[in-house]
Structure 1
Amino acid sequence: MGPHDSFNIDPQEFTVAAVCDICAKKPGFGNNRPWSRKITKRRFDPNIQRVRAVVNGTPKRMNVCTGCLKAGKVSR
């Protein structure tokens, strides 16, 4: 198998690290605008914390943004 061969990935099993499991907040994209005016693309990541939350009576590890933690959307 070569380096450019594709893999069959199930979308339900594939997870992205910088996405909140509660509200689906994900990275935003924008520009760096330094004083020298050289514009480059950058990525604004949400503040994601890996916490143990109780889901259906069992503890489970979840990636949750701090906005959901502060709002009490997760029972720890």
Structure 2
Amino acid sequence: MSKECAFCGKKPQVGNLVSHSNIKTKRRFNPNLQRVRHQDADGTVRTLDVCTRCLRSGVVRKPVVRTNG
């Protein structure tokens, strides 16, 4: 699973983990990515890794789920 949003390109950032004694070690801030199904403008459905901000803002268009009955 790639650590990059398919729409906005959000990637992991690097920062410091600071302990109680103020010792600093490197750490990564990973984006909150979810694997969702997205329907393109031409109707094709793909599974993409998308950050939660793009999901919430409505950038992702989910396909219609049809049931038999």
What is the TM-score of this pair, normalised by structure 1? 0.76
The one of 41, 48, 51 aligned to 2:36: 51
- Does residue 18 in structure 1 map to residue 18 in structure 2? no
- Cα deviation, 1:5-60, whole Å, max 9, x if unaligned, reads xxxxxxxxxxx611000000000100001111111000000000010000131110
2:67 aligned partner: none
* Structure 1 segments unaligned to the other structure (5+ residues): 1-15
* Residue pairs, 1:1-76, within 5 angstroms: 17-55=2-40, 56-76=42-62
Q: How far apart are the structure 1 equivalents of 2:35 and 2:21?
A: 37
Moved over 4 A (4+): none
Identity of aligned residues (%): 46
Q: How far apart are the structure 1 equivalents of 2:43 and 2:12?
A: 30
2:66 aligned partner: none
* Structure 2 segments unaligned to the other structure (5+ residues): 63-69
How many residues get paired?
61
Aligned CA RMSD, in angstroms, stands at 1.0
